[in-house]
Structure 1
Amino acid sequence: MDRFREMEAFVAVVDSGSFVKAADQLRSSKAAVSRLVQDLESRLGARLLHRTTRRLSLTEAGRLYLERSKQILEELEDADSAVGLTTNRAVGQLKVNAPLSFGVLHLAPLWGAFLATHPEVSLDVSLNDRVVDLVDEGYDLAVRITRLPDSSLVSRRLASTRILLCASPQYLAAHGTPRTLADLARHQFIGYSYSPSGDTLELEGPHGMESVNLRPRFHANNGDTCRAAALDHQGIVFQPTFLCHQDLASGRLVPILPQYKQRELGIYAVYPSRKHLSGKVRALVNFLATAFEQAPWEN
């Protein structure tokens, strides 16, 4: 840092023609500027300026050093400006991660509008249902569906979704409709591989918390696959409304055990830090927040 201050003081003295004017330009004192130039000459082991009571003039070493100093300071200013532009404007590549089903159903239709609004941004979108490490894997932002976001990350809530039990009318006609949570143990169940509780389901019922250990005949690590199996009358699923709200509205799937409290999860945009947030990330967070202000599955 001192080397840059010395260089800046030297260039200011030469450009202004005096230590007093350089001090005014740098908002410093004449003594401080003089000390910086003296320290610079001492460090270099060369005199850069001839000083008289009337004027200053450059030595040969001073002329060489001035040329390179100006170049370095200009490049530094360009670098600062570039970062400033990136911080304040939506510029550059955005690496985004999101859950597969949510990404296909609800994010994919939005990317065109986002890119059209922000022509200097490019997108690298990765969809999978595992929880990625934003920092280690270099993601700018992730969309996560969870009860509480990772406390080490910054988040903005975009919407919410309910997780509910449902099945096709044809399956229920063939196997009967469960009346209690315990009844699920005797039914065909379609398990989601990434469920944090595995094949144990716990819900709050009329008489408090209840749990049941399920024995799924079918497992999948993707919600769309679970939904497709339910629509094919293969069993009961426990899936989010963002995935199956249209099936519920049309009657292709029907809710089961409505007397049990439905689990609610938040849908969040998460990113590593609020400090020095880049313009591109800020733009995407704001865009998504606006896009999901009236999420259709929340109605």
Structure 2
Amino acid sequence: MDNRAGEMEVFRRVVEAGSFSEAARQMLMTPSTISKLIARTEKRMGVRLIDRSTRRLSLTAEGELYYERSRALLDEMAALETTLARGAANTGGTVRVNASVGLGTVALEPLLPGFWQAYPNIAVDLSLSDEIVDLYLDRTDVAFRIGRLPDSGMMARHIGAARRMIVAAPAYLERFGTPRTIEELSRHNCLGFNFRRSKPVWPIRENGRTIELPAHGTLLANNGETVRRLAVAGVGLARIADFHMRDDLKSGRLVEVLGDVIESDREEINALYLGGAHMPQRVQAFLDFVVPRLRQFVNDW
């Protein structure tokens, strides 16, 4: 791994300590390690930095230049980190966040303790709902959306993609059988949603075409977490996002149905927010902290 800043710091310590052995003592390293690091730096740049022909440490002209420039860079890096750390401590206010119940529960909530360690003065007003909220009307700063984004003037940061799967508990399949074709789904208890925006159907792709399969069942819920829990309880089949139930799939509490028949059904995940030159620092800090970690969570699956 390239660690040029670390090599610069070693070289600076050697120059300021006046010897390899004293620099090694200060940095809790061995003199041979210090020597190898200096030699690696010289090899990479193709120049000699330290004149080893004299009994005392002496810099070449290139070594003098490298010392001055690297010291300035290291001091600038330290100042930047100090500024950012102070900024994190001083940044305050409230960030209003909306996310689906599933994504919020399994992915976003676990990140908040770490966020508050970095930004102790920022409060998070978190609402979990699978309904689409209006960022303007609901005074929401950041909304995590799954699915196609609407045409608007809002900004978006892409997080990843979720795959929707049809799943069931082994106990349910033992009682009612495992469907082998899409047509057989009509004979099963298909758990659905009651969103205002949704239709009581499961859009399923087969052989390059999308089929809107009526989802008849004993449950209509307004969030995926309720559907997931009742699927685990053996009530019926569910069609929900993979990230939402990864622990259930790993443990065997849920198993995929028709995975070899239905084509992959993926939906994009984005962080939606009101951008512009005057975006509050608290919102910027929240996005910068949360988005990369959510990307890692989604892409690790």
TM-score by length of 2: 0.65
Q: Which residue pairs with 1:265 in the alignment?
A: 267
Q: Which residue pairs with 1:167 in the alignment?
A: 168
3-state DSSP class of the match of 2:203?
A: strand
Quick one: distance in 1 between partners of 2:206 and 2:300? 22
3-state DSSP class of the match of 1:203?
A: strand
Q: Within 5 Å, which residues of 2 pair with 1:205-220? A: 205-206=206-207, 208-220=209-221
Is the alpha carbon distance of 1:289 and 1:149 closer, same or farther for their aligned partners in structure 2, counting shifts above 3 Å? farther
Question: Contact conserved, 2:160 with 2:298, CA < 8 A, in 1?
Answer: no
Give % identity. Answer: 32
For residue 188 of structure 1, report the CA deviation from its aligned partner.
0.8
Figure out how many residues of one structure are paired with residues of the other and give that number: 213
Determine whether 1:186 maps to 2:187. Answer: yes
Q: Within 5 Å, which residues of 2 pair with 1:224-235? A: 224-235=225-236
Is the alpha carbon distance of 1:153 and 1:295 closer, same or farther for their aligned partners in structure 2, counting shifts above 3 Å? same
Q: Which residue pairs with 1:120 in the alignment?
A: 121
Q: Which residue pairs with 2:84 in the alignment?
A: none
Q: Which letter maps to 2:181?
A: T
Quick one: distance in 2 between partners of 1:137 and 1:209? 34
Determine whether 1:256 maps to 2:251. Answer: no
Q: Which letter maps to 1:241?
A: D
Is the alpha carbon distance of 1:280 and 1:149 closer, same or farther for their aligned partners in structure 2, counting shifts above 3 Å? farther
Q: Which has the larger radius of gyration?
A: 1
Structure 1 gap ranges (5+): 1-85
Q: Deviations over 1:175-214 (max 9, x none)?
A: 1111222211111111122285422222211363333222
Quick one: distance in 1 between partners of 2:231 and 2:256? 12
Q: Deviations over 1:60-80 (max 9, x none)?
A: xxxxxxxxxxxxxxxxxxxxx
Quick one: distance in 1 between partners of 2:229 and 2:237? 11
Alignment RMSD: 2.3
Report runs of 4+ in structure 1 exceeding 4 Å deviation.
Answer: none
Q: Which residue pairs with 1:130 in the alignment?
A: 131
Quick one: distance in 1 between partners of 2:288 and 2:214? 41
Question: Contact conserved, 2:162 with 2:266, CA < 8 A, in 1?
Answer: yes
Q: Deviations over 1:75-104 (max 9, x none)?
A: xxxxxxxxxxx9xx7432211122223222
Is the alpha carbon distance of 1:208 and 1:140 closer, same or farther for their aligned partners in structure 2, counting shifts above 3 Å? closer
Q: Which residue pairs with 2:278 in the alignment?
A: 276
3-state DSSP class of the match of 2:217?
A: coil
Q: Which letter maps to 1:111?
A: L
Question: Contact conserved, 1:189 with 1:217, CA < 8 A, in 2?
Answer: yes
Structure 2 gap ranges (5+): 1-86
Quick one: distance in 1 between partners of 2:212 and 2:250? 28
Quick one: distance in 2 between partners of 1:197 and 1:97? 19
Is the alpha carbon distance of 1:203 and 1:118 closer, same or farther for their aligned partners in structure 2, counting shifts above 3 Å? same
For residue 150 of structure 1, report the CA deviation from its aligned partner.
4.7
3-state DSSP class of the match of 1:292?
A: helix
Q: Deviations over 1:117-140 (max 9, x none)?
A: 013322222222221111122111
Quick one: distance in 2 between partners of 1:195 and 1:168? 28
Question: Contact conserved, 2:191 with 2:227, CA < 8 A, in 1?
Answer: yes
Quick one: distance in 2 between partners of 1:155 and 1:181? 35
3-state DSSP class of the match of 1:225?
A: helix
Q: Which letter maps to 2:166?
A: L
Once the two structures are overlaid, the 10-residue window that deviates more, 164-173 or 115-124, is 115-124
Quick one: distance in 2 between partners of 1:298 and 1:260? 23
Question: Contact conserved, 1:90 with 1:281, CA < 8 A, in 2?
Answer: no
